[in-house]
């Protein structure tokens, strides 16, 4: 890779490596590029998401790279795997939505960690206890929220960045 390309790669938050499922050579090139990107991701501590995307799924009879091979490679390298067909717009929107959702989750996780807030999964979050030992259900009062800046930031980020992932749509 030349220097200009490396600078652009280092400044990206999301890497999307696309290969054609009807071409073995395309998959080999994608694997080479993906390994280089994976090394860059591991060499610094910046937030980066990796996606491996198989395109041309509408060309079923010409397929040379199986879904299992693509998924196995992606999982082994810590990436999210998708198969799409840009020609017929199959799962393209889902891919884009998933990228935005995952990026927002990672940004939120990064910001919470950076400012020292505990991370909580929205699904498994337990009701919090107040100073008097009673559980707080529903919305907190504004007085309680404003009295604790960490809780105010936590509430803000939770409202702004709570979303569902589209990753489950790819499981087959």
Going along the chain from its start, the domains and CATH numbers come out as 3-90 (3.40.50.300)
Which stretches within the chain are classed as H helix? 3-10, 24-43, 67-76, 92-115, 142-147, 149-161
pTM (predicted TM-score): 0.65
From first to last of the 172 residues of the chain, give the pLDDT tens digit: 444 455 456 677 888 999 999 999 999 999 999 888 877 777 776 767 899 999 999 999 999 999 999 999 999 988 999 999 999 999 999 999 999 999 988 888 888 887 877 766 543 333 344 333 333 344 344 344 444 556 656 666 665 555 555 554 555 4
pLDDT of 109: 84
Tokens at 124, concatenated:
């498994």
In the prediction, which pLDDT does 85 show? 97
């Amino acid at each position: 890779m030349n220097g200009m390309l490396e600078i652009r790669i280092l400044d990206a938050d999301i890497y999307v490596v696309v290969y054609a499922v009807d071409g073995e050579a395309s998959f080999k090139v994608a694997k080479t590029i993906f390994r280089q990107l994976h090394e860059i991701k591991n060499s610094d501590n910046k937030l980066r998401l990796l996606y491996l995307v198989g395109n041309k799924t509408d060309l079923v009879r010409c397929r040379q790279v199986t879904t299992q091979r693509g998924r196995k490679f992606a999982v082994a390298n810590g990436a999210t795997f998708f198969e799409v067909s840009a020609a017929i717009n199959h799962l393209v929107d889902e891919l884009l939505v998933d990228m935005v959702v995952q990026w927002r989750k990672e940004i939120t996780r990064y910001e919470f960690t950076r400012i020292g807030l505990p991370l909580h999964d929205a699904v498994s979050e337990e009701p919090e206890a107040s100073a008097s030992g009673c559980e707080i259900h529903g919305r907190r009062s504004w007085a309680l929220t404003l009295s604790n800046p960490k809780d105010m930031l936590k509430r803000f980020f939770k409202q702004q960045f709570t979303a569902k992932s589209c990753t489950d749509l790819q499981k087959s």
